[in-house]
Structures are given as C-alpha cells and as structure tokens.
A and B are shown apart, each in its own frame.
Chain A
C-alpha cells in the first residue's frame, strides 16, 4: 500500500462575521465542517461541489494558506498544523497551486521568466546558469518555447497563460499540487489540452494532486478518486468508477443525472429544488435535507448527525442518506 501524501483529520474552517461599532462577532461562516480524508502518494483526488460548498477553502486550508479553525493536517505523516511560519516556509516549495483564472493569477508587469523563476529565487540558492536552464526546461515541458520567456502575460492566450501558471507551480519540483478549477475558464478544445498536459506532467514529476472542479465530467476524466462536497461537508467519497456507476448520496446522483451530456444513457433527471442554503445558518442535522428529493422522517426533522460511513470498501457516504436508502 502506498503511503499517504496528505492526511487531514476533522478539519474545520469558520470565518467570523464581525458587526457593529465594537466589531463584535455576530456569527460564523461555516465554510468547512469536520472534514477528514487522505490522499495517497501519486493519486489525483477530485473534489467536486457547487460554488459556496467550501471546496476552495478546504484546498487552501490543508496547506495552511488560510489557518484552519480546528483539526490536524499531516504531510508525509508529519503533523504540520502547529509548525511555525519559518518551518512552514521550508515546506512551501513542496506544495503548489494552479489557479482558475489565468488572467488574474499572473502579474501583468512581470515577464514570464521572472514569474516562473521567482520561486527558485526564494527557495533555492542556485546560480544564474542553472536557474536559466531550469526555467527553459520547464517552459518546454508545458508546451511553450524559450522565446516566450521574454514576453509579458498579456501577449498570451488563456490556454498559454494557464501553461505558464503550471510552469510556475512545477519549477520547484513540488510533491503536492492543488489544482483549483484549472480549466473552468478555458474553451473546450483548450480545456482538453490542459487536462492532458496535467496528466503528462503528473507522470513526469510524480505528483500527487487535489483537483478541484465543479464539473463532474472533467472530474470523471481525470480523477482516481472523488469527494463530493456540499455546504462544508463531504457527503460521498469513492473511487471514480464506483462513484459514477453506483452513486449513493442523492446529491451525487442528482449531479450526475443533471450534468449536460451529448449522449445520455439515462434519461431520468432528478432536479434539485431551490438554492444552496447560506453557510452562516446551515440546516441542522443533514445539511442537504432542505433540497433532498426524498428525505426520511428523521432526516427531515434534522435529528441525524452528519458523518461518513463505509458502505463498501473505499466507498463512504453520509450516514443520513446511507440509512434513508
């Protein structure tokens, strides 16, 4: 069995809401609630959910870009939750993020070379020659040319910018990548190119990836295992083929049924009513019960605590829905 790259235990992230003259705390945005999972080395773990489900917050919290309110994070079995800033900084080069919007995530006043090499300057004391060499190597790995290094971000198309973003993330030879909706802003033909590139580079650099997306069909193509998130909770986890062939949670089922498909096998569509509730004041008990197509009686009353149970090896689903079905 492969060892875990990342393991997360009961992680929580609340953002306080401050109001009034004295900035008193009046409540919390409960972005992430008691989430535990692990990512084995070399895996692509897909994290899927709607906007406001807390997927980006979770992604940032597990590498402590925002401090989790509670819980423990283990990187290669070492607890990194309480590490000081300077200790954490040494680890930073092992964690990198690829962002969604390639227009907003590149500094418009820097040349591509400076964007990519900045991490090297901060983290690695290497001479200029080997730095140049490293940057030239990485730019070709992502499918661009050396000549591109002297240009500015505005001279590139969206797809090329995303390649630059990937080069920046990979230049330090990271171990763990968080890809936060890396293809959502791109056209379909470019989206396929970037997904393919991520898969190629994953092999070449032996990466472990948390792949965040709202698009089930993208997750279906790229992930080994999938977590479905709703209003701060993980409601279902399974390996990709299990999740898509045998979804257990009604939320997962509805996501799969309503995802627009060219060739749809199953004509049945269960539409969810209403909107995702506010994370400031989530429903008690099962957070999904206000939109559930057929909630059980206990579930409706909000009396069942949330928590994952394993229904078949490696396939976990929230206990409320596991019991309803």
Chain B
C-alpha cells in the first residue's frame, strides 16, 4: 500500500474516561487510504469503527475523549496537532462526512438551500447567489429530480433516500479529497440502498475523491470497497484488498464473519454461529481481544500472553499476529 497515500493513520488511540475507568474505544489503529480508492472499515457495534472516523474528523469532545498518541497524516500535517480553527478549514472542505440517519443529521428547521450553501459560502468564499447555484448543481449531480424546486424543500419533505442524496450533495459541495461515510445505507430500504451505493460509485468516478466507508455489512463491503479493515473491540484484526480478504481470510474473526454472513443461495444452508458476545470495552481481555470468542485459540493465545500487533502475512495483507502464529 504505497501508491499515493492520501491519508495515513498510525497507531491511533482514542480513549474515553468514564468515571474511574478508561474505555479504549480505539486502541492502536493504523491504515493508509489511497487516492481515489474506497477503504471499508467493518465491524460489529462497539468495535470502534465510528470513533475512528470521528477521530479523523476531530469531532469528538475534547473534555471526554483523548486522542492521545498516534498520527493522522493528511497533506503533510498531523491532524491531531491542529488547532480548532485550522481543523475547521479542513473539515467539510477537504475531508467531509455523511452519517447513518439522514433525518437526524440534517437540520429540520432550515431548507436545503441554506444547509448546502452554508458550507460553500464558508469554505469557498462565494456569494449567496453563487452558492445557491452550486447547491442546485450538486442536487442535480446526486440525482435529485427537479433540483431548482427541491432546493427549497425542508428535510421532512424528502424521503429517506432523497435525504441521503441531499447529505451527499452537501458533503461533496466543496469537492473534498476524502469522503467519510458512516453506515450511509444502513437506515435505508434495500432498493434505495442499492441506488445510493450506485450513486457513490458513480460520483467517485466523476470526482475522484477517496472514500472511507464504514459498515457492519460484509456484502456491502464486497460491492463497494478496494480495501477492507476488520475491527474488533477497538483493534484491527485484518487489513487486505477486498477480494484477497474474502478469498483468503487469515484471521479467525474474519473467517467467522464470512461464514455466518447470510448469503442468498439456492440450497438451504446450515446457519453457522459464532458464540458469545463482544466483551465490555472497559475491561477487554488481555492479549488478543478476540480470544474469548475464538473458535480455535492457540495455547499462547488462550492465556492472553500474546500482545496484539499486525504483521504482513502476504504483500498488502496484514493480520493480527496472534491468529497468524
């Protein structure tokens, strides 16, 4: 993974202090995002995938979260060290984000014109009229019919799919280098989900931005991404190219996820099961965090004596060393 890294994350740790205890929501995540590519982060709830995204965006409240160590390198700058006013120039402009629930992430009391123009006026120094014009073009680009009319709609007047399109229009209005999409299709119906995935792929071809796509759905990962990172309890289990990961999964968690993912097939298959539940992040297992649910843990692994850390098992295919050895 060395061709043009647009964003490079090294050993990112985001911890929350809750009362006496420390929640290690993200505990040593490293990955590279290549220009023009889609990087998927997949994991169950509580695995730290959204916190990774929010850490990149600098959207976590300072008093609660400490993004302590690590680097988020973008444009030769470590985003962790940036002052808020510098970060504000990047956020929504060079790196922007869309969220899962398009109803709660759009402001219900402003129309689309105001909400989309706001970003454009702030970052691109355009007049109100120019911004409105760009906003209409953006709505057209994301496939909203009759954009001249729709621009004056309020979020509640749009369907779920249209709202997500409007969110995408807003996020892309300043032509960002990176779009972070946090479960953008999870709240949508299947036919609408397919439309939005199609739209994102088309826009990526047209505009050339990189996408970080967060999802819990391996099927979606396989449709949209070039690379995948599998997370579990704040740690990275495996990183590889998408087809490599699905054809040669090395980590036992990845293997289980692929095994149990519901697949459409003509014959009836036995439903495979991974036992147990994701442990509490306040008190994660020592050593390999997955060992409490691992279907066949090694002896060193069972005792929790092996420290976690990625090793490159094949070119570009990284896996946690515990499972590899």
Chain A residues at the B interface, C-beta cutoff of 8 Å: 50-51, 157, 159-160, 187-193, 195-196, 199, 214-218, 220-222, 240-241, 244-245, 254-256, 258-264, 269, 271-273, 275-276
Contact = CB atoms under 8 A, between A and B. Distances in A.
A262 B264 contact: no
A245 B266 contact: yes
B44 A275 contact: no
B313 interface: no
A195 B268 CA distance: 14
A290 to B, nearest CB: 13
Contacts of B193: 258, 260
A100 to B, nearest CB: 14
B30 to A, nearest CB: 24
Of the listed residues A193, A260, A269, the one surrounded by the most CB atoms of chain B closer than 10 A to its CB is A260
Given A189-B274, A261-B219, A218 B262 contact: yes
The binding surface of chain A is classed by DSSP as: helix
Contacts of B223: 260-261, 264
Given A189-B257, A262-B246, A273-B195, 20 more contacts: A51-B189, A188-B217, A188-B218, A188-B257, A189-B273, A189-B274, A190-B277, A191-B262, A193-B275, A195-B271, A196-B273, A217-B263, A221-B268, A240-B268, A241-B266, A256-B264, A258-B191, A260-B219, A260-B222, A262-B218
Of the listed residues B219, B260, B262, B266, the one surrounded by the most CB atoms of chain A closer than 10 A to its CB is B262
Contacts of B222: 260-264
A13 B55 CA distance: 49
Contact of B220 (A260, A263, A273): A260
B189 A276 contact: yes
Contact of A189 (B189, B198, B260, B268): B260
Contacts of A157: 277
Interface in B166-189: 189
A218 B219 CA distance: 13
Contacts of A262: 218-219, 221-222, 246, 258, 261, 263
Contacts of A160: 277
A275 B268 contact: no
Given A187-B45, A196-B271, A263-B246, A50 B262 contact: no
A256 B194 CA distance: 11
B219 A259 contact: yes
A199 B262 contact: no
A182 to B, nearest CB: 14
Contacts of B265: 220, 244
A268 to B, nearest CB: 12
5 contacts: A187-B278, A189-B277, A190-B277, A217-B262, A260-B217
Contact of A217 (B45, B195, B219): B219
B272 A269 contact: no
B257 A221 contact: no
Nearest to B47: A187
Given A50-B190, A50-B191, A258-B190, A188 B263 contact: no
Given A50-B191, A159-B277, A260-B223, A192 B268 contact: no
B264 A217 contact: yes
Nearest to B43: A187
Of the listed residues B264, B271, B277, the one surrounded by the most CB atoms of chain A closer than 10 A to its CB is B264
A214 B190 contact: yes
